[in-house]
Structure 1
Amino acid sequence: MTDDTEGNRWKEWMEEFQSESDRACAVLGPAFLDDQLRELLKSFLVDDQRVADLFASSMGPLASFSSRIEMAFALGFLAPREVRDLNLIRKVRNEFAHQLAGTSFVSPKVVSWCSELAQCDVFSWTKDTLSSRNRFVLSIVMLANWISIRRLGIQNTRRTVQREPKHQKAKLGNLPSLP
């Protein structure tokens, strides 16, 4: 993907993401992170249809946001604090997705999860001044940026399919003797 295309994609997403309702914000933000993780993993793993299938099927081992978080951590692409924040963001998304009504960024569970997000605490002014929604948005933007930067950093480290070993015929004189 070209830098221009990536930049346009980010701009469009940010405009839509920040102007939506609480429910849409809680679903769109994590969907973007999920997409970023998928692209990070796909850009590192072997370029093969079998690998693509790991992401495609709803039952594929890398089809869920949760499994992508864990795989990205296992491959060393995420720090423990980032994994924790991604899982908190996932909890917020699930709360909005599974409650038919009444969930907002002022709901007690959501406020609690958003208050635990550590990404935006690198700024001294954020802890007590940001609303839950703004903590959520800022954390997503920061995580998406880090994931995107890491994807750029691994461009030349993509795994490749191993070649079949060359089988050499053993010379009879080199075989161990049997008892």
Structure 2
Amino acid sequence: MSKSKKRQEIFKKFVDNDTNYWDDFLVKELNAESDRGSVILACSLFDIALKAKIKSFLVHIENVNDDIFDDANSPLSTFSAKINMAYRLGIVSNHLKSDLHTLRDIRNSFAHNIDECSFDDTEVINSIEKLKTSSKFIERFEGIRNDCFPSGYKGDFIMFASMLLSTLKSEYINQLEPATAEWVYNQDYYSPE
């Protein structure tokens, strides 16, 4: 299966809100990946999730290729741009925006570090500690943390990523309707006799 086809399949499962798929996928797939692979994969899922949330808010278009997301120079082609737009549209809170940017920083550490990068690196540990203290989620749900996720910072990352993705999935967004024609296009607005 091509990367594009697989990405479309994952996008559809997100839009369809297939909760069992996501829960199983995150724990199984992210844990099976290398440190670098799990971070890049998780952040790809966040990218897909943000795109789905933003698209669900915008007026629907029929084109398969959405020119505000899918081209290299599109305004929302980057993870950072999607995070900021989701915040500006009110889809995510300032707090979640900050955590998503921290996840993006972790992803960049793994993606751009030519040497081996791991969850043992000081920069990555500091970012994960920042995530852990932002909501105290891992601390509050320590039993779930210990029963369902691997130990160490990789497990913390996977748990935090799965909870944030779950948050993004659960928030309902009302889609905008296309705007009505402006008065200048309305033939009935004024017609001199």
The equivalent residue for 2:35 is: 22
Distance 1:148 1:125 in 2: 20
Change (3 A) 1:43 1:136: same
Contact preservation (8 Å) 2:26, 2:162: no
The equivalent residue for 1:6 is: 18
1:92 counterpart = 2:113: no
Name the amino acid aligned to 1:38. K
Distance 1:24 1:52 in 2: 27
Which of residues 179, 187, 191 in structure 2 aligns to 1:162?
Answer: 179
What is the CA-CA distance between 1:80 and the residue it aligns to? 1.5
Q: Secondary structure at the match of 1:16?
A: helix
1:131 counterpart = 2:152: yes
Contact preservation (8 Å) 2:27, 2:158: no
Query: How does 1:19-168 map onto structure 2 within 5 Å?
Result: 19-48=32-61, 49=63, 52-117=66-131, 118=133, 121-122=136-137, 123-124=139-140, 131-150=152-171, 153-154=172-173, 157-165=174-182, 166-167=186-187, 168=189
Distance 2:66 2:130 in 1: 34
Distance 2:154 2:115 in 1: 17
Q: Secondary structure at the match of 1:68?
A: helix
Change (3 A) 1:35 1:14: farther
What is the CA-CA distance between 1:69 and the residue it aligns to? 0.5
CA RMSD of aligned residues (A): 2.6
Change (3 A) 1:161 1:50: farther
Change (3 A) 1:90 1:114: same
What is the CA-CA distance between 1:119 and the residue it aligns to? 5.6
What is the CA-CA distance between 1:4 and the residue it aligns to? 7.5
Q: Which runs of 4+ in 1 moved over 4 A?
A: 1-5
Tell me the matched-pair count.
166
Name the amino acid aligned to 1:16. E
Distance 1:5 1:66 in 2: 24
Query: Aligned residues: percent identity?
Result: 26
Where structure 1 has 5 or more consecutive residues not aligned to the other structure, the ranges are 173-179
Name the amino acid aligned to 2:112. H
Distance 1:68 1:30 in 2: 12
